[in-house]
Amino acid sequence: MTSASKYDILIQGGGPVGLACAAWCLQKYPEAKLILVDRNPLDDADLASADSRGIALSHGSKLLLETIKAWPTECADIHRVHVSQAGRFGRP
C-alpha cells in the first residue's frame, strides 16, 4: 500500500475527468508528486473485461481539453450521436 502523504496531489479515478485533471496539474505544477488511483487493473490482458462503453464529448469539453494540451491532433469528428439503452422502454 502506498502512503498518500508521500504525494502533493492525489487524484481518485482514471476516467476522462481524472486523466484531464492529472494532465492539467502536471502542466501547472511539473515538480509536483502526483498519484492517480484507479480501480481498473494495471495489466492490459485484463482490460478485455473492462468497461467498453464509448464516450462522446461536447464542443466545450473539446475546447477545455485543447487548453491543457490533452486533445489529440489527429482524431475523427463526431457528426451524429445515437443514445439508447438496449432492452429498455423508450419515452416519447
Q: Determine the pLDDT at residue 50.
A: 64
Give the H or E element holding residue 12. Answer: strand 9-12
Hey, is 16 helix, strand or coil? helix
* Residue-by-residue DSSP string for 23-89: HHHHHH-TT--EEEE-SS-SSGGGGGGS--------HHHHHHHHHTT-S-SS-PPP-------TTS-
90: confidence class by pLDDT, cuts 50, 70, 90: low
Q: Determine the pLDDT at residue 80.
A: 79
24-74 pLDDT per residue, tens: 999 999 999 999 998 876 666 766 666 666 777 788 888 888 888 888 888
Q: Determine the pLDDT at residue 15.
A: 82
For the entire predicted model, the pTM comes to 0.61
Listed residue (38, 31, 30) closest to 10, CA to CA = 38
